[in-house]
Amino acid sequence: MPKHTDDEIKEATARFEEWAATLTREDFQDTADLRAIAEASEGVRVGQARVHELVQLARANGRSWGQIGIALGVSRQAARERFAKKARV
């Protein structure tokens, strides 16, 4: 791996300092809204994984697709189409 010379490091430092001097307050805006979106999205993924696990458990316990559909608030067909590939029992 090539090493950088002192001159290259000084040049890079100068470029960085020049760039940093151009930053404005808006460049450091609050990102709480974006963090909240990421957290909510992760919560959805976790929730979906949990529903899949519970559907597999229900199928293993002999529950019908009709019963699972009722629990999910969807039709038997919708429940089966959504989960049958992942809940082979």
Helices (H), the chain: 6-21, 32-60, 65-72, 76-83
Given this model, what pLDDT does residue 19 score?
87
Mean pLDDT over 2-27 rounds to 86
Please give the residue that has the higher pLDDT: either 35 or 2: 35
Residue 61 lies in a domain: yes
- Residue-level pLDDT at 88: 53
Domain that holds residue 71: 53-89
CA dist., res. 76 & res. 70, Å (int): 8
30-87 confidence digits (pLDDT tens): 888 888 999 999 999 999 999 999 999 999 999 999 999 999 999 999 999 999 985 5
Q: Per the domain annotation, does 76 fall within a domain?
A: yes
The DSSP letter of residue 31 is: -
Give how far Cα 55 sits from Cα of 19, 48, 52, 84, Å: 54, 11, 5, 9
- Token pair recorded at residue 62: 């002999």
Query: Does residue 71 or residue 1 have the better pLDDT?
Result: 71
- Domain count across the chain: 1
Instruction: Report if residue 87 sits inside a domain.
Output: yes
